[in-house]
Structure 1
Amino acid sequence: MGMQRAFALSAGLSLALQLALSGCTGKAVRQAPTEWRAASRRWEQSPDKERGCINGSLPDGTSGEKGAIQPVQHVEAAQHEELPPPAAERQQPELDLMKTIQLAFISNPDLQSARERIRIADGLLASARAEFYPKLGFNETFNETNTPANAFMFLLNQARFSFNRNFNHPGFIDNFLTQGALNQNLYAGGLRRARQQAAEAQRNADAHALATVQNELVFHVAEAYYRLLQAQKLVEVRQDAVEQVRRHLQSVQVRFRANTAVKSDVLSVEVRLAEVQGELITAQNQLELAWAVLENVIGARLPRVKLPHEVPPAPWSDRCEAVESAVAEALQQRPEVAEMNSKRRAAEANIEAARAGKRPTVDLMGTYNVWTPNFVQGTNNLFAGLAVSLNLFDGGRTRSAIQTAQARVAELAARQQRLLLDIELDVRRAYLQLANAQAQLQVANQAIAQAEESLRETEVRYRAQTTTLTRLIDAQVALVSVRVRRATAQADVEIARANLERAVGRVTRLFNKESPSCGIPSVLQHPTSAPST
């Protein structure tokens, strides 16, 4: 053991002498003796027993610059080898677009509001259909009186009338009246049927409005999702830029210490490092904001799960069609078109409801009465009647109601025409935006390789002292700019595709196939019609 310690100490002293003779800085040599002894033991036990000064580093990886501890070349290369991710990270699920949209279908408050409007329409439709059915009622009344007229009526209805009673002073008379009533409208001039048709059409309009909200929601979720991936990619680009500038700064500092660079070069790179660090902070904040935007669109908090490294294509990304066919499909499939058609049918039904004010109404009524003073004595009777009513003059109210309903139909017809024009423009704009985004992505992909090669050549020339630091910084800035443009273009392409699907009105059908609870076919079915009266 003593011989081994002596050999290690001798090796350490020999190494220190070699470092001093090789020109390595001596600051690390003046470290504590315990560090030297530990370094010597590790060096003697290493399999290759490398000796000497390797790039200004000691055998244990201690750099000769400013006493910093840095790995030697072969250790540094081993550390830069890509290791497999931990098992927990490999098993962590990625944020998926389809599941995100399905979560939005459950949590989004706008969608919940649209569903509640359908429930309101269901209630109005049920109320309109109830007008075709009779009304039955029950009533129980108790009276006590000594008024001669009322006492005479109670005794007569109870079948207890007698001429022996003094009706000027009848005393107190009790009366219980148990009554059942029936009312049935037989004819209302078409009012009930028109109101039912209007309620059915309005319910369908609200159902199509739900599909419209779904269509818009899918697009907004997809947009927020791809903006989140874009923000993540920009953070990666900014992090790479920071590391790149740090390497440039180390290179310039080495040249400055070797008196082959001036102090202004070091300061320029330090300024550039501060710039890219600020851009990294901004990108990180934008990433957090992108998470918040996605949560806002979904209507629920999201766990910070792993994001896809590359921008994944959406389910509709493989579609490719001519703009004219897309326009024709949109004019047939957009839920806004069906919603406007339903509203127009409801308005036309309201015209018939207003015209019913000029027609007579026929009502059937009947009652069954039980008159008794004590639920032991008494009698019962029936009453039935038929009532016919006709409005002869109402000061123009019916005529004004008809004109208002007709104007409403004309207004909806004009709005429908405007809607069709807007849909066509929407599709053409979305189609052109997709074409532009695809072209921008193609240009960015071509420029990225050129910018990377330009930076590599500039770095080589700068190390060879055949170009200026300004050229090196410009090349680095150009590469970062191209990477940012590519990340933006990748997100823009998928967002433009989602926008085209929204403009055509196809996205909700994709999710209706997978999740019937999110669909609308059931709420678009017309209920069984009641009798036409």
Structure 2
Amino acid sequence: EPVDTTLNDASSNETFAPNQPNQATGLSLEETIQLALASNPDLASASAQIAAADAVLCKARAEFYPKLGITEQYGVTNNPVMSFMYQLNQTRLNFAQDFNDPQTVDNFHTQLRFQHSIYTGERRQHALHAAAAGSNAASLSLVALQNQMTYQVAEAYYRLLQARDLAKVRQQAVQQVQQHLDIVTTRFENDTAVKSDVLTVEVRLAEEQESLISARNQLELAWAVLENVVGAPLSGQELPEAIPTAPWSQQVEELEYALSVASGQRAEIGAMTSQQQAASEQVLMAQAGKRLGIDFVADYDVYTGDFQTGNDSFFAGVIFHLNLFDGGRTRIDMAQAAAKVTELRAQQRRLMLDIELDVRRSYLQLKDAEERLKVASQAIEQASESLREIEVRYRGQSANITQMVDAQVALSNARVRQATAQAEVEVARAALQRSSGRLTDLL
């Protein structure tokens, strides 16, 4: 059964997008990226991680402040010792009573306590520095994620345009083969062509119809991929007629310059450096466990049995504490923290190597895509001219049907290569800017 070869609007550039309104310009790449920045759940998760890291930083700062708290306790007893202490604190001690058989005594104890760590062996300072480095690492990780996400949106956007253009190419091929079939059928009816010519073109038409069905499905999938990356539905959006250039398309530099930019711009490098700083501070924090600590404590207490009579008192003191033996816990903490620093340094070396390879690969892919686009554009002109010539010759019965089908196949393949290459160039440009760490800066 013949396949419907018409798109929803043959002159429209958004042929397969559902529920599309009539828009003059269509969905731009910049609009898509801004929508992703606001809707992508991965960015929301990274923002929450920054909030968590900032909370850790605030907690580390709070360690420099004193603590002030109040407690209220109530007790009732006829225990000789406890009864004696309750009455003594309330200044109600009666020496005429039988201390071995006291009466039941109520006691309300209100205590206001002030605590402050005067010296912690610089543990607090190192904890603060580690938290600040961790917060900075979380912020830079978000920047790195934005750079990567922008590339993913750009890639999905241009893959969608690529799929749209491929669907158009396949539709044009079906229409062209259908025209050839009409010509061959007319000649067959006039006894100027054989049945095998008709069958050959019909087979070719079936192949092109199959390719059109596949292209339509790929276009639907491309819409779904873009919506997934953006994190929001795009129903009702139209696409621009031609493949637009990205804001960074004019920012292509030589390889060595791109490498130098990447070493200073990639947020992953800064995030890894901050993680190393945090780990180094963790080592110093562990070392602080060997040092003397000094705390100041002050209490104000009120004791009463009926809230009418009672007594108040205060206490103030300084506490010195030093870890003499802990079974090697402090030493183990230091070794663990030092191992983490070594691990992160090795990871940073690997990161630098990966970034350099990423830049080189992206640069070469861009050059390859640009060259293929030039060749594909030239091939279309040649294939179009060849097909026109063979069609004229076929009508004049100086070319056979096989030559015409071969020419049509060549033109169709050239159009596919051009549609593919146009999108590949823009994707490669985005990849180069992503590898340099500047993708979001160029928007």
CA deviations on 1:271-313 (whole Å, 9 max, x unpaired) are 1111111110000000000001111111121114221121100
Cα distance, 1:149 vs structure 2: 1.2
User: Cα RMSD (Å) of the superposition?
Assistant: 1.4
Cα distance, 1:397 vs structure 2: 1.9
Alignment match of 1:190 (pick from 111, 116, 122): 122
SS at match of 2:289: helix
Cα distance, 1:154 vs structure 2: 0.9
CA contact 2:252–2:429 (8 Å) conserved in 1:
no
TM-score (norm 1): 0.78
- 5 Å-filtered alignment, 1:202-213, equals 202-213=134-145
Cα distance, 1:90 vs structure 2: 5.4
State whether structure 2 residue 336 is matched by structure 1 residue 404: yes
Answer with 1 or 2: which has the greater Rg.
1
Paired with 1:463 and 1:229, the residues of 2 have a C-alpha distance of 37
SS at match of 1:376: coil
Cα distance, 1:95 vs structure 2: 1.4
Which residue identity does 1:394 align to in structure 2? D
Unaligned runs of 5+ in 1: 1-81, 512-533
State whether structure 2 residue 199 is matched by structure 1 residue 267: yes
SS at match of 1:379: strand
Corresponding residue for residue 313 of structure 2: 381
SS at match of 1:385: strand
Paired with 2:53 and 2:94, the residues of 1 have a C-alpha distance of 59
CA deviations on 1:392-425 (whole Å, 9 max, x unpaired) are 1222222222222222212211211111111111
Alignment match of 2:165 (pick from 222, 233, 247): 233
CA contact 1:93–1:305 (8 Å) conserved in 2:
no
State whether structure 2 residue 80 is matched by structure 1 residue 148: yes
Which residue identity does 1:94 align to in structure 2? G
Corresponding residue for residue 296 of structure 2: 364
Tell which deviates more after alignment, 164-173 or 487-496.
164-173
Corresponding residue for residue 509 of structure 1: 441
Alignment match of 1:201 (pick from 133, 139, 145): 133
State whether structure 2 residue 348 is matched by structure 1 residue 416: yes
Which residue identity does 2:251 align to in structure 1? R
Which residue identity does 2:150 align to in structure 1? V
Cα distance, 1:195 vs structure 2: 0.7
Alignment match of 1:337 (pick from 269, 290, 293): 269
Corresponding residue for residue 217 of structure 1: 149
Corresponding residue for residue 472 of structure 1: 404
Cα distance, 1:165 vs structure 2: 2.3
Paired with 1:89 and 1:361, the residues of 2 have a C-alpha distance of 71
Cα distance, 1:183 vs structure 2: 1.1
Cα distance, 1:117 vs structure 2: 0.8
Alignment match of 2:420 (pick from 484, 488, 494): 488
Cα distance, 1:127 vs structure 2: 1.4
Paired with 1:242 and 1:304, the residues of 2 have a C-alpha distance of 28
- 5 Å-filtered alignment, 1:346-357, equals 346-357=278-289
CA contact 2:387–2:408 (8 Å) conserved in 1:
yes
SS at match of 1:364: strand
Paired with 2:351 and 2:171, the residues of 1 have a C-alpha distance of 47
Corresponding residue for residue 239 of structure 2: 307
- 5 Å-filtered alignment, 1:24-423, equals 91-423=23-355
Which residue identity does 2:72 align to in structure 1? E
SS at match of 1:413: helix
Unaligned runs of 5+ in 2: 1-10, 13-19
SS at match of 1:368: strand
CA contact 1:295–1:302 (8 Å) conserved in 2:
yes
SS at match of 1:167: coil
Corresponding residue for residue 428 of structure 1: 360
Which residue identity does 1:373 align to in structure 2? G
Tell which deviates more after alignment, 362-371 or 166-175.
166-175
Paired with 2:40 and 2:109, the residues of 1 have a C-alpha distance of 56
Q: Which has the higher contact order (CA 8 A, sep 6+)?
A: 2
SS at match of 1:170: coil
Cα distance, 1:434 vs structure 2: 0.3
Identity of aligned residues (%): 54
Which residue identity does 1:113 align to in structure 2? S
**Corresponding residue pairs, total:** 426
Paired with 1:304 and 1:239, the residues of 2 have a C-alpha distance of 23
Which residue identity does 2:380 align to in structure 1? I
Which residue identity does 1:109 align to in structure 2? P
SS at match of 1:144: strand
CA contact 2:23–2:238 (8 Å) conserved in 1:
no
Cα distance, 1:92 vs structure 2: 5.0
Which residue identity does 1:348 align to in structure 2? S
